[in-house]
Amino acid sequence: MAGPQHIAIIMDGNGRWARGRGLPRLAGHRQGTENVRRIVREAKDQGVRYLTIYAFSTENWKRPGPEVRGLMMLLGEFIDRETANLHAEGVQIKHLGSFENVAPRLERKIHDAVELTQHNTLLTLAVAFNYGGRADIVNAVRELIGAGATAEDITEDTISQHLYTHDMPDPDLIIRTGGDFRLSNFLIWQAAYSEYYMTPIFWPDFGVAEFREAIHQYGHRERRFGALPEASPNIK
């Protein structure tokens, strides 16, 4: 099977990575941020067209204030440090999510990075930040109704066209590090036919070799999208 065009990653395990080393949780997030850099480059080298990363969910506001502020700071630093490089490498940055409760300074940084890189086509790096899958669907339906849609106008296609991901294909492969087997409100609509790759490895340790292994395993999956397998023996 052809390689995945769109890979989405739930980058879990930063806190446990740090705890295992006697470090504060934020040190794990910092190391996780470093890892984003190398995985983005590897994705590009592997010919992946879309990479979506779950940086901050709408539920993450429930974490202690210092951790929330730390995550915001790391995202701001990442944008400051990486945007010019990513732009030079032909990477388009997109934001999936809302700006509700986000500091205006960070919002501006995100807007600027998105605007600067909007015409790049080699790889799209979509950062799910202040993102929730259910909210994504609710917003889409509200937009449709706000634009005067009738009940018949609400279809799978029209909802898809109003999601944050409206100009992206659905993820082919969803990777979750850190050992859990759940979606945690990530791309719940878009993931309907995705393949999943779960690993106990914590995100800061999920390196190039592990990323390649996930892509390799995806290559052995048979995607049927609800149809029967090809050459099914019981079909007349």
Minimum Å distance from CB 13 to ligand FPP? 4
60 is catalytic: yes
Q: Name the nearest CA neighbour of 139 among 155, 159, 168.
A: 159
75 binds ligand FPP (CB under 6 A): yes
177 binds ligand FPP (CB under 6 A): no
178 binds ligand FPP (CB under 6 A): yes
80 is catalytic: no
- The DSSP element (H or E) to which 150 belongs, if any, is none
Q: Total binding residues for ligand FPP by CB under 6 A?
A: 19
| Of residues 53 and 214, the one with the C-beta less far from ligand FPP | 53
**What is the contact mask toward ligand FPP in residues 77 to 116, using x (rule: CB under 6 A)?**
-x--------------------------------------
> Which one of 30-38, 41-49, 98-106, 145-153 is the stretch in contact with ligand FPP (CB under 6 A)?
30-38
Minimum Å distance from CB 91 to ligand FPP? 13
Provide long-range contacts, Cβ within 8 A and 24+ apart, for 162-168: 163/136, 163/137, 163/139, 163/189, 163/190, 164/95, 164/96, 164/97, 164/131, 164/136, 164/139, 165/52, 165/96, 165/126, 165/136, 165/190, 168/6, 168/50, 168/52, 168/94, 168/124, 168/126
Q: Which of 127, 128, 168, 175 binds ligand FPP (CB under 6 A)?
A: 127
Q: Which of 4, 7, 9, 15 binds ligand FPP (CB under 6 A)?
A: 15
Which residues, numbered 32-61, are part of the site for ligand FPP (CB under 6 A)? 32-33, 36, 53, 55, 60
Q: Residue 124's beta-bridge partner residues?
A: 50, 92
Q: Which of 8, 14, 168, 176 binds ligand FPP (CB under 6 A)?
A: 14
Classify 124 as helix, strand or coil.
Answer: strand
Q: Name the nearest CA neighbour of 126 among 49, 52, 35.
A: 52
| Of residues 58 and 190, the one with the C-beta less far from ligand FPP | 58
Distance of CA 133 to the CA centre of its chain: 11
Q: Which of 45, 60, 120, 180 is catalytic?
A: 60
Angstrom CA distances, 75 to 87, 95, 170, 190, stand at 17, 12, 24, 24
> Which one of 31-39, 41-49, 112-120, 189-197 is the stretch in contact with ligand FPP (CB under 6 A)?
31-39
Residues with catalytic annotation? 12, 60
